[in-house]
Structure 1
Amino acid sequence: MSQRHVDPDTLLLKMPSLRAVKAFVAAAKYESFTRAAEALCVSQAAISRQIRELEEYLNAPLFIRVGRAVELTPAGVMFFDASKISFVNIAQAAERIKNAPVEKHVLTVACSPAFSALWLSNHIKDFRAKNPDIELNLITTQNFHAREPGIEPDIVISKFVDLGEGYSLHPLCHDIIYPVCSPEYLQRNPAINTLEGLRSSELLDLSPYGRSGVAEHVDWSVWLAFQNVDIDERHSGSPPLFHANDYNLIVNMALSGQGVALGWDQLVGHLVESGRLIQPVQERVTLRNSLHYLACRENANAGNACGRVKDWIMSKFSSWKAKGEIHNL
């Protein structure tokens, strides 16, 4: 069998000795070579030798002596800030691996920040109560195609049908979009119960920037165009539109009476049902040509737990099927 040639790893070759960095972090933390040696259960000579080797490697002094203590040089401060963060991350990852309960199933779920904050947070208590043996690791993202190295979600909730091999797709819902505001805002602005009055009100607009990985974009100009209303014909003196690509912010602004937002029914429906948000007009837009999907990783190791998460989420969307809002694929 032929051996594959591996090119030198320049990043790893440029890395200083982790043992020397460990000694440096301890000395910087305690501002003393003696206390660093005690903390690491080694001799002071060993600490001094490791730091001297590190300084020679970096070609820069890292400490200056002040009496019996030591202080970081500017180069030392820079190196300590980076080293400390890296060591904390390594220590936390090692601790999680060491202490991971064998009997628990850890599943990674990926979804948008809006779905996490507005849908999942409203239902997750029910899941955790019914499934105490499943530990969820939630990852929110705006780009489902660019994953961090080592992150392979077991469940992905998005509008994408191509997530790579190994995932089965299950339709959840269409987008149903309608205006929402607080009851107090409608009381102060009764004219927004017509499309023309709505057009000239304080509109909270969802910006497309940074959201291309989430869904096709529907903002106020698009939504009003579906109603044959031109947003450019707003009354003179109308308040300026507010733009943000953070949907959670827009919904919170609507809840606090700062204007009218476009509500995605699967995200704000529970707020409408509770009366915290209301629909000033009854018109709505349903995008029947696109669906939100639940993608489930077909992995034997997580099969049963993954299936239980999938079944639970699908059950929460079952009312959509009952209303005929989605079709079987």
Structure 2
Amino acid sequence: MTQHANADQMLLKMPSLRAVKCFVAAARHQSFTRAAETLCVTQAAISRQIRELEEHLGTPLFERTGRSVKLTPAGSIFFDAAQLSFINLAQAATRIRKDYGSNARRTLTLCCTPAFSALWMSRRLPSFFDGNPDIDLDLITTQNFLAMEPGIYPDVFITKIARVRDGYVTRPLFHDRIYPVCTPGYLETHPEAGSLEGIRDGTLLNLSPYGRSQIAEHVDWSVWLAIHHLDIEDRPGTGSHYFNVNDYSLLIQMVLNNQGVALGWDHLVAPLIEEGRLLRPVEQEMVLEETRHYLAYREDKEDDDALIRFRDWFLAQEGI
């Protein structure tokens, strides 16, 4: 009972919200005239509300010099607090209108790797938005699904981890198919890249394992070539570069810029091959039969309409 009494007393001591609103507008514009225009009221109404607020607080909030006004020290203190409160109220109102209003839109939070977002998601999301105009998506990218920032609780994970978190339903997806890729122009100027030995001895763009320690297997050029009975240590000691980077999107961009040969993960590069921007200089590939990608979604939202629509759309996509 005491808490309710204290809360009521606090409300009774609160100044008029209308007056505070007029004050915030005047403080932002440093002008009663501009404040009146912003709030679609008269300048006299702004002056009256601010005068009442100053009487309530017992101190001037503005220094009035001709037609301009400037906050007093007390006004600056009150403005900081009032502006923050209005921002919080506006954000809460926006969330409520968005989630509970008559025209509420749904928002799903997705989490995947930067490469998957850049090379897979970005191509296909327009079709999802076209078919689901009432659903918004928040996309979070990470290389480390097991050590995300506190408070991040995605609705959907797309990952290579079979059990990314408790409380999620997991659907197995595809195995990785990995093969060399380069541009037609690069192969034309480097015909030796049409053989495994020529690829090994040429400019190799390599995905490094840095930041990928959570992934059980890591396939780089040394592993891929070894599977095909070639030792990367047999490369010439001088000549072509061996470039390492842990950003796969950058790696593919370098390939597209005719800078070398990289390993292509089929689900990421197949559209570029279909468009003719990339090609497979050799037919050999590597399939990781023991591992898969997974779609994981929150168990407590298994019957949520927005999540169901995204899940069904995702599973219907080519390459999944």
Whether these two folds match at TM > 0.5 is yes
* Structure-1 residue corresponding to 2:128: 127
SS in 1 for 2:202: coil
Distance 1:124 1:143 in 2: 23
SS of 2:316's equivalent in the other structure is helix
Query: Structure 1 residue 302: deviation in Å?
Result: 5.8
| Count of residues in correspondence between the two structures | 282
1:145 is displaced (CA, Å) by: 1.7
Aligned match of 1:239:
240
Per the alignment, in what secondary structure is the counterpart of residue 241 of structure 2? Answer: coil
1:249 maps to 250
- Check 1:28–1:219 CA distance in 2 against 1; reply closer, same or farther (3 A cut): farther
Q: Is the 8 A contact 1:159 1:215 kept in 2?
A: no
Conserved? CA contact 1:108–1:155, under 8 Å: yes
Q: Which residue of structure 1 lines up, in the alignment, with residue 189 of structure 2?
A: 188
* C-alpha spacing 1:69/1:219, structure 2 compared with 1 (3 Å): farther
Q: Report the CA distance shift for 1:228/1:154 in structure 2 as closer, same or farther (over 3 A).
A: same
Deviation at 1:248, TM superposition (A): 0.3
Post-superposition offset of 1:294? 0.4
Distance (whole Å) between structure 1 residues aligned to residue 216 and residue 268 of structure 2: 14
Taking structure 1 as reference, are residues 287 and 121 closer, same or farther at Cα in structure 2, changes over 3 Å only? same
Measured on the aligned residues, the alpha-carbon RMSD in Å equals: 4.2
Corresponding position of 1:107: 108
CA distance in 2, matches of 1:91, 1:217: 47
Q: Distance in 2 between matches of 1:217 and 1:270?
A: 23
* 1:181-234 C-alpha deviation (Å, 9 max, x unpaired): 111000010001111110111111111111234563111111111111111111
State whether structure 2 residue 173 is matched by structure 1 residue 172. Answer: yes
Q: TM-score, normalised by structure 1?
A: 0.69
SS of the aligned residue for 2:226 comes to: helix
Query: Is the aligned partner of 1:143 residue 2:162?
Result: no
Shift of 1:149: 3.1
- C-alpha contact 2:302 2:308 (8 A) present in aligned 1: no
C-alpha separation in 2, matches of 1:184 and 1:159: 33
Contact 2:168–2:297 (8 Å) recurs in 1: yes
Change (3 A) 1:117 1:89: farther
1:163 CA drift (Å): 2.4
Give, as a single letter, the amino acid of the residue that structure 1 aligns with 2:118: A
> How many Å apart are 1:316 and its aligned residue?
1.5
Distance 1:254 1:299, change over 3 A: same
In 1, are the aligned partners of 2:119 and 2:268 still within 8 Å (CA)? yes
State the 1:123 CA deviation.
1.0
Who is 1:311 aligned against? 312
- Tell me the amino acid that sits aligned with residue 256 of structure 1: N
CA contact 1:111–1:140 (8 Å) conserved in 2:
yes
User: Once the 2 structures are TM-superposed, how far is the Cα of residue 99 of structure 1 from its aligned partner?
Assistant: 4.5
Unaligned ranges ≥5, structure 2:
1-23, 39-45, 58-67, 71-79
Q: Which amino acid is 1:177 matched to?
A: I
1:151, distance to aligned residue in structure 2 (A): 2.2
Q: Is residue 175–residue 286 contact of structure 1 (8 Å, CA) maintained in 2?
A: yes
Report if the CA contact (8 A) 2:163-2:170 is conserved.
no
Q: Which residue of 1 aligns with 2:155?
A: 154
The 1:88/1:265 distance shift into structure 2, 3 A limit, reads farther
1:1-329 counterparts in 2 under 5 A? 95-96=94-95, 98-100=97-99, 103-213=104-214, 216-300=217-301, 303-317=304-318
Identical amino acids, percent of aligned pairs: 47
Tell me how far 1:306 sits from its aligned partner. 1.1
CA contact (8 A) 1:158 1:214 kept: no
SS where residue 211 of structure 1 aligns?
Answer: coil
Do the aligned partners of 1:27 and 1:33 also contact (CA within 8 Å) in 2? yes
Contact 2:98/2:105 (8 A) holds in 1: no
CA contact (8 A) 2:182 2:262 kept: yes
Pick the structure with greater CA Rg: 2
> How far off is 1:89 after superposition?
9.7
Q: Is the 8 A contact 1:144 1:214 kept in 2?
A: no
Q: CA shift at 1:166, angstroms?
A: 2.1
Q: Is the Cα–Cα contact under 8 Å of residues 192 and 201 in structure 1 kept in the other structure?
A: yes
Identify the residue that residue 4 of structure 2 maps to in structure 1.
Answer: none
* One-letter amino acid matched to 2:156: I
AA aligned opposite 1:123: R
Q: How far, CA to CA, are the matches of 1:219 and 1:90 in structure 2?
A: 51
Distance 1:120 1:26, change over 3 A: same
Aligned partner of 2:316: which letter?
S
State the alpha-carbon separation in 2 of the partners of residues 230 and 97 from structure 1. Answer: 61
Secondary structure of 1:290 counterpart:
coil
